[in-house]
Structure 1
Amino acid sequence: MDVLIPLPSPEDGERALGIFERLMNQAGDGSHHLVIVVQGIGGPALSHFRYMQKGDLIVHVSEDWALEFCHLLAAAISGSLSGGFVMRTRTDAGTESICGWRITHGDTKPLSRSEVFDAYCHNPTTGETFGPEPGVEYKDAPAIH
Protein backbone atom coordinates (compact mmCIF):
# COMPACT_ATOMS: atom_id res chain seq x y z
CA MET A 1 0.00 0.00 0.00
CA ASP A 2 1.25 3.46 -0.84
CA VAL A 3 1.57 6.15 1.79
CA LEU A 4 -0.82 9.04 1.25
CA ILE A 5 -0.24 12.61 2.38
CA PRO A 6 -2.64 15.52 1.96
CA LEU A 7 -1.91 18.14 -0.66
CA PRO A 8 -0.59 21.20 1.20
CA SER A 9 -2.01 24.64 0.50
CA PRO A 10 0.06 27.24 -1.39
CA GLU A 11 0.47 29.10 1.92
CA ASP A 12 1.87 25.97 3.59
CA GLY A 13 4.22 25.57 0.62
CA GLU A 14 5.49 29.13 1.01
CA ARG A 15 5.92 28.65 4.74
CA ALA A 16 7.83 25.39 4.16
CA LEU A 17 10.15 27.13 1.68
CA GLY A 18 10.82 29.84 4.27
CA ILE A 19 11.69 27.23 6.91
CA PHE A 20 13.89 25.39 4.40
CA GLU A 21 15.75 28.61 3.51
CA ARG A 22 16.28 29.51 7.19
CA LEU A 23 17.54 26.01 7.85
CA MET A 24 20.05 26.25 5.01
CA ASN A 25 21.12 29.76 6.07
CA GLN A 26 21.80 28.64 9.65
CA ALA A 27 23.54 25.38 8.73
CA GLY A 28 26.95 26.90 7.99
CA ASP A 29 29.82 25.38 6.08
CA GLY A 30 29.95 21.64 5.54
CA SER A 31 28.31 18.69 3.87
CA HIS A 32 24.71 18.45 5.06
CA HIS A 33 22.21 15.61 4.86
CA LEU A 34 18.59 16.39 5.77
CA VAL A 35 16.10 13.58 6.37
CA ILE A 36 12.38 14.16 6.98
CA VAL A 37 9.85 11.55 8.11
CA VAL A 38 6.14 12.37 8.15
CA GLN A 39 3.41 10.04 9.36
CA GLY A 40 1.02 9.76 6.41
CA ILE A 41 -2.06 7.65 5.83
CA GLY A 42 -0.82 4.08 5.59
CA GLY A 43 2.58 4.66 7.21
CA PRO A 44 5.58 6.97 7.23
CA ALA A 45 6.71 9.00 4.21
CA LEU A 46 10.42 9.79 4.02
CA SER A 47 12.52 12.16 1.94
CA HIS A 48 16.10 13.37 2.10
CA PHE A 49 18.21 16.14 0.64
CA ARG A 50 22.00 16.50 0.47
CA TYR A 51 23.93 19.69 -0.10
CA MET A 52 27.30 21.27 0.52
CA GLN A 53 27.84 24.81 1.71
CA LYS A 54 30.98 26.92 1.77
CA GLY A 55 30.38 30.58 2.51
CA ASP A 56 27.70 31.87 0.15
CA LEU A 57 28.12 28.94 -2.26
CA ILE A 58 25.56 26.13 -1.93
CA VAL A 59 25.86 23.05 -4.12
CA HIS A 60 23.10 20.44 -4.07
CA VAL A 61 22.69 17.05 -5.65
CA SER A 62 19.12 17.29 -6.88
CA GLU A 63 16.52 20.03 -7.12
CA ASP A 64 13.86 17.29 -7.22
CA TRP A 65 15.00 16.08 -3.78
CA ALA A 66 14.75 19.63 -2.42
CA LEU A 67 11.20 19.94 -3.78
CA GLU A 68 10.21 16.55 -2.35
CA PHE A 69 11.66 17.50 1.05
CA CYS A 70 9.76 20.82 1.01
CA HIS A 71 6.54 19.10 -0.10
CA LEU A 72 6.64 16.74 2.90
CA LEU A 73 7.55 19.64 5.18
CA ALA A 74 4.59 21.65 3.81
CA ALA A 75 2.23 18.71 4.36
CA ALA A 76 3.46 18.33 7.95
CA ILE A 77 3.23 22.03 8.84
CA SER A 78 -0.31 22.15 7.45
CA GLY A 79 -1.18 20.74 10.87
CA SER A 80 -2.71 17.49 9.68
CA LEU A 81 0.41 15.31 10.04
CA SER A 82 3.17 14.80 12.55
CA GLY A 83 6.79 14.04 11.91
CA GLY A 84 10.28 15.35 12.24
CA PHE A 85 13.55 15.96 10.49
CA VAL A 86 17.23 15.78 11.27
CA MET A 87 20.35 17.33 9.80
CA ARG A 88 23.70 15.55 9.85
CA THR A 89 26.67 17.81 9.10
CA ARG A 90 30.27 16.92 8.28
CA THR A 91 32.84 19.70 8.14
CA ASP A 92 36.16 19.96 6.31
CA ALA A 93 37.83 19.71 9.73
CA GLY A 94 36.40 16.20 10.09
CA THR A 95 33.78 16.95 12.75
CA GLU A 96 30.31 15.47 12.52
CA SER A 97 27.13 16.64 14.24
CA ILE A 98 23.41 15.90 14.28
CA CYS A 99 20.47 18.09 15.27
CA GLY A 100 16.75 17.70 14.75
CA TRP A 101 13.24 19.15 14.87
CA ARG A 102 9.83 17.73 15.73
CA ILE A 103 6.79 18.79 13.70
CA THR A 104 3.54 18.92 15.68
CA HIS A 105 0.36 20.92 15.29
CA GLY A 106 1.81 22.73 12.27
CA ASP A 107 4.96 24.00 13.96
CA THR A 108 8.62 23.01 14.03
CA LYS A 109 10.05 22.50 17.51
CA PRO A 110 13.84 22.30 17.92
CA LEU A 111 15.04 19.21 19.73
CA SER A 112 17.58 19.44 22.53
CA ARG A 113 20.81 17.54 22.20
CA SER A 114 19.54 14.95 24.71
CA GLU A 115 16.37 14.41 22.64
CA VAL A 116 18.46 13.92 19.48
CA PHE A 117 20.79 11.57 21.36
CA ASP A 118 17.79 9.60 22.62
CA ALA A 119 16.35 9.34 19.09
CA TYR A 120 19.63 7.99 17.72
CA CYS A 121 20.52 5.74 20.64
CA HIS A 122 17.17 4.20 21.52
CA ASN A 123 15.23 1.52 19.69
CA PRO A 124 11.55 2.58 19.97
CA THR A 125 10.32 -0.93 19.16
CA THR A 126 12.36 -2.89 21.72
CA GLY A 127 13.14 -0.12 24.22
CA GLU A 128 16.81 -1.08 23.98
CA THR A 129 19.41 1.65 24.44
CA PHE A 130 22.75 1.50 22.65
CA GLY A 131 25.87 3.65 22.53
CA PRO A 132 26.29 6.79 20.45
CA GLU A 133 28.10 6.85 17.13
CA PRO A 134 31.80 7.46 17.75
CA GLY A 135 32.90 11.00 16.95
CA VAL A 136 29.37 12.38 16.47
CA GLU A 137 28.27 15.43 18.44
CA TYR A 138 24.54 15.64 19.21
CA LYS A 139 23.53 19.32 19.23
CA ASP A 140 20.64 21.52 20.27
CA ALA A 141 18.77 22.49 17.11
CA PRO A 142 18.27 26.19 16.36
CA ALA A 143 14.77 27.68 16.11
CA ILE A 144 13.81 27.96 12.43
CA HIS A 145 10.09 28.83 12.42
Structure 2
Amino acid sequence: MMFVPNGETQALGVFQALRAALGTGLHSFTIAGMDLDGSLIVTQIVGPAGPVPGAVLTEVAVDLSRCLTFGGGVVSRSFSEEGSEIVRGWRAVGDGVLQPLTAGEVFDSFCINPNTGDPVSPELGVEYAAGIDLYDGSGGEVSPSH
Protein backbone atom coordinates (compact mmCIF):
# COMPACT_ATOMS: atom_id res chain seq x y z
CA MET A 1 0.00 0.00 0.00
CA MET A 2 1.31 3.43 -0.96
CA PHE A 3 1.20 6.27 1.59
CA VAL A 4 0.73 9.82 0.34
CA PRO A 5 -0.04 13.00 2.31
CA ASN A 6 -3.62 14.31 2.34
CA GLY A 7 -3.27 16.85 -0.53
CA GLU A 8 -1.64 14.20 -2.65
CA THR A 9 -4.39 11.72 -1.77
CA GLN A 10 -6.93 14.25 -3.02
CA ALA A 11 -4.84 14.78 -6.18
CA LEU A 12 -4.83 11.03 -6.83
CA GLY A 13 -8.61 11.02 -6.54
CA VAL A 14 -8.80 13.82 -9.10
CA PHE A 15 -6.42 11.99 -11.44
CA GLN A 16 -8.44 8.77 -11.16
CA ALA A 17 -11.62 10.77 -11.87
CA LEU A 18 -9.98 12.25 -14.99
CA ARG A 19 -9.01 8.79 -16.21
CA ALA A 20 -12.47 7.38 -15.50
CA ALA A 21 -14.23 10.30 -17.19
CA LEU A 22 -12.19 9.82 -20.37
CA GLY A 23 -12.90 6.09 -20.48
CA THR A 24 -10.98 3.36 -22.22
CA GLY A 25 -8.27 3.99 -24.76
CA LEU A 26 -4.92 5.70 -24.91
CA HIS A 27 -4.67 9.04 -23.11
CA SER A 28 -1.92 11.56 -22.54
CA PHE A 29 -2.05 13.96 -19.60
CA THR A 30 -0.01 17.11 -19.19
CA ILE A 31 -0.06 18.62 -15.70
CA ALA A 32 1.31 22.14 -15.46
CA GLY A 33 1.53 24.12 -12.26
CA MET A 34 3.66 26.24 -10.02
CA ASP A 35 6.00 25.01 -7.31
CA LEU A 36 6.55 26.64 -3.91
CA ASP A 37 9.33 28.81 -5.34
CA GLY A 38 7.21 29.96 -8.30
CA SER A 39 8.95 27.74 -10.84
CA LEU A 40 6.91 25.93 -13.48
CA ILE A 41 6.35 22.18 -13.09
CA VAL A 42 5.27 20.16 -16.12
CA THR A 43 4.58 16.43 -15.95
CA GLN A 44 3.40 14.24 -18.80
CA ILE A 45 1.84 10.81 -18.45
CA VAL A 46 0.89 8.64 -21.44
CA GLY A 47 -0.77 5.28 -21.28
CA PRO A 48 -3.86 3.18 -21.80
CA ALA A 49 -6.66 2.92 -19.29
CA GLY A 50 -5.80 0.41 -16.59
CA PRO A 51 -3.37 0.15 -13.70
CA VAL A 52 -0.71 2.85 -13.37
CA PRO A 53 2.67 1.92 -11.82
CA GLY A 54 3.16 3.14 -8.25
CA ALA A 55 6.16 5.34 -9.07
CA VAL A 56 4.15 7.15 -11.75
CA LEU A 57 1.21 7.60 -9.37
CA THR A 58 3.54 9.10 -6.77
CA GLU A 59 4.88 11.63 -9.29
CA VAL A 60 1.34 12.47 -10.45
CA ALA A 61 0.19 12.87 -6.84
CA VAL A 62 2.98 15.30 -5.99
CA ASP A 63 2.76 17.40 -9.15
CA LEU A 64 -1.03 17.47 -9.42
CA SER A 65 -1.24 18.37 -5.73
CA ARG A 66 1.04 21.37 -6.40
CA CYS A 67 -1.04 22.30 -9.45
CA LEU A 68 -4.25 22.15 -7.41
CA THR A 69 -2.69 24.12 -4.54
CA PHE A 70 -0.63 26.80 -6.29
CA GLY A 71 -2.46 27.11 -9.63
CA GLY A 72 -2.16 25.49 -13.01
CA GLY A 73 -4.09 23.11 -15.16
CA VAL A 74 -4.37 19.75 -16.86
CA VAL A 75 -4.67 18.91 -20.55
CA SER A 76 -5.71 15.48 -21.81
CA ARG A 77 -5.21 14.16 -25.30
CA SER A 78 -7.20 11.03 -26.17
CA PHE A 79 -6.23 8.96 -29.20
CA SER A 80 -8.69 6.91 -31.25
CA GLU A 81 -7.83 3.79 -33.19
CA GLU A 82 -8.75 5.69 -36.38
CA GLY A 83 -6.02 8.25 -35.71
CA SER A 84 -8.12 11.18 -34.53
CA GLU A 85 -7.44 12.98 -31.26
CA ILE A 86 -9.57 14.84 -28.72
CA VAL A 87 -7.93 17.50 -26.57
CA ARG A 88 -9.64 18.67 -23.36
CA GLY A 89 -8.54 20.98 -20.56
CA TRP A 90 -9.14 21.94 -16.94
CA ARG A 91 -7.87 24.79 -14.76
CA ALA A 92 -7.15 24.63 -11.03
CA VAL A 93 -9.49 27.03 -9.24
CA GLY A 94 -8.52 26.40 -5.60
CA ASP A 95 -9.56 23.96 -2.90
CA GLY A 96 -8.28 21.05 -4.99
CA VAL A 97 -10.83 21.60 -7.75
CA LEU A 98 -10.26 21.34 -11.50
CA GLN A 99 -12.76 23.41 -13.51
CA PRO A 100 -13.43 22.23 -17.06
CA LEU A 101 -12.43 24.62 -19.82
CA THR A 102 -14.92 25.30 -22.61
CA ALA A 103 -14.17 23.98 -26.10
CA GLY A 104 -13.39 27.57 -27.13
CA GLU A 105 -10.89 28.01 -24.28
CA VAL A 106 -9.17 24.74 -25.21
CA PHE A 107 -9.05 25.77 -28.88
CA ASP A 108 -7.65 29.22 -27.99
CA SER A 109 -4.95 27.72 -25.77
CA PHE A 110 -3.70 25.61 -28.69
CA CYS A 111 -4.49 27.85 -31.65
CA ILE A 112 -3.51 31.35 -30.51
CA ASN A 113 0.11 32.37 -30.04
CA PRO A 114 0.27 33.55 -26.39
CA ASN A 115 3.06 36.03 -27.16
CA THR A 116 1.58 37.72 -30.23
CA GLY A 117 -2.13 36.89 -30.15
CA ASP A 118 -1.85 35.68 -33.74
CA PRO A 119 -3.81 32.62 -34.82
CA VAL A 120 -2.00 29.29 -35.10
CA SER A 121 -3.38 26.60 -37.42
CA PRO A 122 -5.27 23.84 -35.62
CA GLU A 123 -3.66 20.42 -35.68
CA LEU A 124 -5.04 18.17 -38.42
CA GLY A 125 -7.37 15.48 -37.04
CA VAL A 126 -7.66 17.09 -33.59
CA GLU A 127 -10.96 17.99 -31.96
CA TYR A 128 -10.74 20.67 -29.27
CA ALA A 129 -13.47 19.74 -26.77
CA ALA A 130 -14.65 21.02 -23.40
CA GLY A 131 -13.26 19.44 -20.27
CA ILE A 132 -15.56 17.01 -18.48
CA ASP A 133 -17.06 18.02 -15.12
CA LEU A 134 -15.49 15.78 -12.48
CA TYR A 135 -17.53 16.88 -9.48
CA ASP A 136 -20.94 16.02 -8.10
CA GLY A 137 -21.86 19.59 -7.11
CA SER A 138 -21.30 19.03 -3.37
CA GLY A 139 -18.45 21.43 -2.81
CA GLY A 140 -15.57 19.91 -4.72
CA GLU A 141 -15.96 16.22 -3.99
CA VAL A 142 -14.97 14.07 -6.93
CA SER A 143 -18.08 12.39 -8.28
CA PRO A 144 -18.24 8.67 -7.50
CA SER A 145 -19.61 8.10 -11.01
CA HIS A 146 -16.21 9.10 -12.42
Match of 1:131 among 112, 118, 121: 121
The residue number in structure 1 matching 2:39 is 43
Match of 2:108 among 118, 123, 126: 118
Q: 1:138 to 1:115 in 2, by over 3 A?
A: same
Could you tell which deviates more after superposition, 121-130 or 135-144?
Answer: 121-130
3-state DSSP of counterpart to 1:133: coil
Q: How many residue pairs get matched?
A: 130
Cα-to-partner distance string for 1:5-58 (whole Å, 9 max, x where unaligned) = xxxx822112111111111111112211000110222421111111113xxxx1
Runs of 4+ in 1 over 4 A off after TM superposition: none
Map residues 34-73 of structure 1 onto 2, 5 A cutoff. Answer: 34-40=29-35, 41-53=37-49, 58=50, 60=52, 63-73=54-64
Instruction: Choose between structure 1 and 2: higher strand proportion.
Output: 1
The residue number in structure 1 matching 2:16 is 21
Is the counterpart of residue 94 in structure 1 residue 90 in structure 2? no
| Cα displacement (A) at 1:59 | 5.5
Identity of aligned residues (%): 30
On the 8 A contact 1:102/1:110 being kept in 2, the answer is yes
The residue number in structure 1 matching 2:140 is none
The residue number in structure 1 matching 2:142 is none
3-state DSSP of counterpart to 1:117: helix
How far apart, in 2, do the equivalents of 1:65 and 1:127 lie?
36
On the 8 A contact 2:83/2:125 being kept in 1, the answer is no
3-state DSSP of counterpart to 2:27: strand
Query: Could you list the runs of 5+ residues in structure 1 that have no partner in the other structure?
Result: 1-8
Say what the alpha-carbon RMSD is for the aligned residues.
Answer: 1.8
